[in-house]
């Protein structure tokens, strides 16, 4: 481990070790012997340093005109474009997703930088009439202050960018605690901002373990807002602890997304979508489709064909261009995914294919799992209700559109749902009835674009949306301003006769 490159926290523009000197390693999921880097294992004192640096930098950044803040993001977009391939390769090595998807992850950050840079010159306020004469009423936006960002490993560049760029444009100072499985991806992204000209202290990065550095950031009284993407379990903790201090808390949590395939749908198209949404990113997407709800008339055909396609997928190191399914992010996740196979078998579901750790040859160097399909799954089974976050999919039969929608809506989550049908009436009914923040018609549950709001309902979050027109709103406060130029006391709501 000592030969692996050492990296620091970014505090006040300097890359520094943890005060304790403690470290942790980032290891490639495709090869346990490949140590990507060694990072500070930060604690509350490091977080306090970072928050203090952000507080000092906040007034200058807040006073920087918003178009100038946007210009910085435009420079960041250009730098990212030039580094797309390097960053993608690093991501595949550090997180595991196959190269073509890693390029897409970086592209999402580029898109977000371009989009948010443009927001720099967009008016955000409202001007409305007053009920009184010689009086104007308008709103403008202000930064929240010091914002804490906590991010997961599955989109190691895209998700930090979804938070960093709009939060910066809104004028906030930031402390980022990236996932401990992908610290180098986050550091490289922030380096781009520094090179683009970000003043010291405006973005600080504190690496470390969730229960230590993450919890300290959640608890720090000078952090006015928390934006968290991760599991529902940790999200609840963040909301409860942040809520104690009346912080603004924005949560993007898990999903148990489904593809509904009706008997009038294009089966080949549905299968293409099912394979991409279930096994892409090895099922490790918050929007991954882990349930297929299939009309009884096409159930056997769909199940057979999905099995054939799953069995032909090439699993391996994502740096190899021919590989379609990369590793599971770490050993703990691998064991969790496998434990759900045991749960499914125990519940009486029929294991159609997969269900095994893959460790033959080079696969034994990392954490690989076979694409796994369960059939005869009842919607109430745990494998149909709980987020597995791996390449495991449950096929559930439905007799009608109504039953399919009821099954789709039957979990605690509400992120992304999709339907395949050629009947426009059924499609519109589904758009209205499916309980999710994102609905797709004749497309799989993954594939969100940055110019639309992103987020879920029910157990997937707490009502916030990232990206789209809501991106900057999430990170800013509205101020309502009244200017009375009548020269006399005018009283709203008070009868004058
Ligand atoms: P996780 O909840 O384990 O960790 C997320 C982050 O929280 C990490 O940085 C971690 O260090 C930190 N953390 C852990 N414990 C903490 C604590 N007590 N206090 C503060 N911070 C803490 O999630 P993960 O395994 O990194 O990511 C997978 C999860 O993320 C899945 O549930 C997935 O659905 C979800 N996710 C959601 C979205 C979305 O937009 N809805 C997007 C991607 C991933």
365 by Cβ neighbours in 10 Å (0-12 / 13-18 / 19+) ranks as: middle
Is the CB of residue 350 less than 8 Å from the CB of residue 376? yes
According to the model, what pLDDT value does residue 2 have? 52
CA–centroid distance for 249 within its chain: 15
Question: Is residue 491 a part of any domain in this protein?
Answer: no
pLDDT tens by residue, 91-109: 999 999 999 999 999 999 9
Q: Are residues 27 and 153 in the same domain?
A: yes
Whether 18 maps to a domain, the answer reads yes
Q: From the CB of 179, is ligand 1 less than 6 Å away?
A: yes
3-class DSSP state of 452: coil
CATH of the domain at 181: 3.40.605.10
377 pLDDT above the threshold of 90? yes
Q: Are residues 38 and 78 in the same domain?
A: yes
Q: Is 229 touching ligand 1 by the criterion CB < 6 Å?
A: yes
CB atoms under 10 Å from CB of 163, counted, come to 26
210 Cβ closer than 6 Å to some ligand 1 atom: yes
Determine if ligand 1 sits within 6 Å of the CB of residue 274: no
Q: 204 and 219 share a domain?
A: yes
Question: Is residue 476 in a domain?
Answer: yes
The mean pLDDT of the chain is 97
Q: What is the pTM of this model?
A: 0.97
- Decide: 387 in ligand 1 pocket, CB within 6 A: yes
In this structure, which residue's CA is closest to atom 34 in ligand 1? Answer: 254
Judgement on whether residues 157 and 238 belong to the same structural domain of the protein = yes
Active-site residue 466, yes or no?
A: no
pLDDT at 298 over 90: yes
455 domain-assigned: no
Residue 118's SS3 state is: helix
**pLDDT, tens digit, for every residue of 176-219?**
999 999 999 999 999 999 999 999 999 999 999 999 999 999 99
Residues 6+ apart with CB under 8 A from 459: 232, 253, 254, 411, 412, 413, 414
Domain final residue pick, 411, 441, 471: 441
Q: What is the pLDDT of residues 242-278, one digit of tens each?
A: 999 999 999 999 999 999 999 999 999 999 999 999 9
Maximum pairwise Cα distance, the chain: 90
Verify that 23 and 143 share a domain, yes or no: yes
Nearest ligand 1 atom, CA 286? 34
- Mutate which of 96, 177, 178, 210 for ligand 1? The one with the most ligand atoms within 8 Å of its CB, which is 210
Do 179 and 289 lie in a common domain? no
The two tokens of residue 32 are: 């346990």
For residue 354, being part of any structural domain is answered with yes
* Residue 286 is among the residues annotated as catalytic for this protein: yes
Q: Report the relative pairing of strands 14-16 and 9-11 from DSSP bridges.
A: antiparallel
One domain for residues 245 and 316:
no
Query: Residue 277 sits in a domain of what CATH number?
Result: 3.40.309.10
Which atom of ligand 1 sits closest to the CA of residue 255? Answer: 34
Give the pLDDT mean for 289-301.
98
Q: Is residue 344 located within the same domain as residue 358?
A: yes
Domain count, the chain: 2
The answer, yes or no, to whether any atom of ligand 1 lies below 6 A from the CB of 211, is yes
Using pLDDT thresholds of 50, 70 and 90, give the confidence band for residue 124.
confident
Q: Which whole number is the average pLDDT over 373-378?
A: 98
| Confidence (pLDDT) at 497 | 72
Q: Which atom of ligand 1 is nearest to the CA of 461?
A: 41
Angle, CA 35 vertex, CA 370 and CA 392 arms, to 5°: 15
Helices (H), 170-225: 183-195, 215-219
Copy the structure tokens of residue 97: 């997703």
pLDDT in the model for residue 317: 97
Domain span at residue 299? 257-441
Q: Which two three-digit tokens encode residue 158?
A: 């895209």
Question: In this predicted structure, what is the pLDDT of residue 1?
Answer: 47
On the question of pLDDT at 353 being above 50, the answer is: yes
Give, using CA atoms, the residue closest to atom 11 of ligand 1.
210
Could you tell me if residue 488 is inside a domain? Answer: no
Q: Judge if 174 and 57 occupy the same domain.
A: yes
- Considering the domain architecture, whether residues 48 and 121 belong to the same structural domain is answered as yes
At 131-174, the pLDDT tens digits run: 999 999 999 999 999 999 999 999 999 999 999 999 999 999 99
Q: Is 216 in the pocket of ligand 1 (CB under 6 A)?
A: no
Q: Is there a single domain that holds both residue 381 and residue 476?
A: no
Instruction: Identify whether 449 is part of a domain.
Output: no
pLDDT at residue 225 is higher than 50: yes
Q: What separation in angstroms does the CA of 82 have from each of 88, 160, 263?
A: 12, 19, 46
447 assigned to some structural domain: no
pLDDT at 59 over 50: yes
234 Cα to the center of ligand 1, angstroms: 7
244 and 179 both lie in a single domain: yes
């Amino acid at each position: 481990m000592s030969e692996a490159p050492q990296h620091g926290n970014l505090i006040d523009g300097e890359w520094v070790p943890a005060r304790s000197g403690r470290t942790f390693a980032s290891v490639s999921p495709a090869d346990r012997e490949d140590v990507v880097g060694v990072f500070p294992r930060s604690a509350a004192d490091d977080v306090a340093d970072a928050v203090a640096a952000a507080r000092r930098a906040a007034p200058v950044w807040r006073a920087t005109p918003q178009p100038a803040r946007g210009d910085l993001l435009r420079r960041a977009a250009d730098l990212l474009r030039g580094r797309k391939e390097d960053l993608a390769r690093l991501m595949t090595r550090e997180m595991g997703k196959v190269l073509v998807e890693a390029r897409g992850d970086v592209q999402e950050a580029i898109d977000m930088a371009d989009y948010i840079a443009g927001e720099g010159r967009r008016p955000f306020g409202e001007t409305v009439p007053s009920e009184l004469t010689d009086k104007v009423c308008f709103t403008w936006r202000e930064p929240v202050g010091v914002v804490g960002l906590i991010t997961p490993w599955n989109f190691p560049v895209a998700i930090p960018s979804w938070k960093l760029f709009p939060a910066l444009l809104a004028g906030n100072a930031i402390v980022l605690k990236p996932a401990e499985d992908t610290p180098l991806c986050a550091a490289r992204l922030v380096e781009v901002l520094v090179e683009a000209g970000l003043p010291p202290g405006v973005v600080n990065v504190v690496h470390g373990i969730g229960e230590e550095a993450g919890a300290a950031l959640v608890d720090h009284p000078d952090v006015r807002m928390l934006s968290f993407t991760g599991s529902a379990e940790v999200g609840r903790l963040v909301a409860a602890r942040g809520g104690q201090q009346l912080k603004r808390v924005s949560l993007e949590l898990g999903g148990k997304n489904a593809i509904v395939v009706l008997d009038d749908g294009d089966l080949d198209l549905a299968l293409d979508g099912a394979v991409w949404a279930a096994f892409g990113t090895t099922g490790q997407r918050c929007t991954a489709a882990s349930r297929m709800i299939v009309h009884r008339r096409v159930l056997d055909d769909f199940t057979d064909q999905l099995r054939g396609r799953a069995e032909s997928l090439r699993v391996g190191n994502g740096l190899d261009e021919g590989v379609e399914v990369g590793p599971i992010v770490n050993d703990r996740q691998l064991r969790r995914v496998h434990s759900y196979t045991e749960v499914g078998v125990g519940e009486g579901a029929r294991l159609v294919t997969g269900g095994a750790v893959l460790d033959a040859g080079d696969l034994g160097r990392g954490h690989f799992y076979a694409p796994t399909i369960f059939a005869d799954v009842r919607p109430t089974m745990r494998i149909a209700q709980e987020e597995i976050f791996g390449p495991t999919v449950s096929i559930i039969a439905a007799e009608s559109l109504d039953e399919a929608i009821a099954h789709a809506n039957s979990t605690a989550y509400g992120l992304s749902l999709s339907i395949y049908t050629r009947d426009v009436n059924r499609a519109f009914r589904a758009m209205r009835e499916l309980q999710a923040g994102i609905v797709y018609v004749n497309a799989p549950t993954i594939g969100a674009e940055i110019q639309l709001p992103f987020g879920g309902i029910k157990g997937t979050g707490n009502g916030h949306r990232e990206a789209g027109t809501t991106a900057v709103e999430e990170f800013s406060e509205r101020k309502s301003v009244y200017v009375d130029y009548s020269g006399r006391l005018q009283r709203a709501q008070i009868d004058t006769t």
